[in-house]
Amino acid sequence: MTGPCLLGLAGCLLLAGCGSGGQETLSKAVKDAGSAVATARLALDLESSGQLTSAAATTALGDMVKDVNSSRTTVQDLSPDTPESRGARQASLDVLNGCVTGILTAQEAVDSTDGSPAASDAERMLAASARDLDELSTRLGAG
């Protein structure tokens, strides 16, 4: 299951199974990850345009991986007590995992000496992660 299907399932599960404490925790984790992805996109763009050194971009991207991993740990540590809330937690983890993958790909693009992976591929991954987070955030806010 990917993209819109996964997010649709996450929305249903979030609305059906999360208590307010779990939902608030998920909302914060998603918001924090959204900030990290936005920062990663900015660092990649600035490095690609020559306005930021590769070393600074690599450091910023590494910090953003740590931030998203912190959000992942917070979500992973939730103890959902219903199948629906367990599904919501898993769906959120899947989106957060996509964010980590996108940021790591951006870091590889910045560090690459042969152009692989391409910065444009990393940007597409980060843009998809941002969209997934926005959709998940909207669903969380609806509950």
Largest pairwise CA distance in the chain: 50
pLDDT at 20 over 50: no
* Residue 35 contacts residue 103 (beta carbons within 8 Å): no
Extract the tokens encoding 18: 């999360």
Provide the domain limits for residue 93.
Answer: 3-141
**pLDDT single digits (tens) 88-128:** 788 899 999 999 999 999 999 999 999 899 999 999 999 99
Q: Are the CB atoms for 42 and 113 separated by under 8 Å?
A: no
- Report whether 15 contacts 142 (CB < 8 A): yes
- Burial 65-102, CB ≥16 within 10 A → b, else e: bebbbebbebbeebebeeebbebbbbbbbbbbebbbbb
Query: Which pTM value belongs to this model?
Result: 0.83
Please count the helices (runs of H) and the strands (runs of E) in the chain: 5, 0
Q: Is 3 helix (H, G, I), strand (E, B) or coil?
A: helix
Domain CATH for 67: 1.20.1420
pLDDT tens-place string over residues 41-96: 999 999 999 999 999 999 999 999 999 999 999 999 998 888 878 877 888 999 99
As for how many domains the chain has, the answer is 1
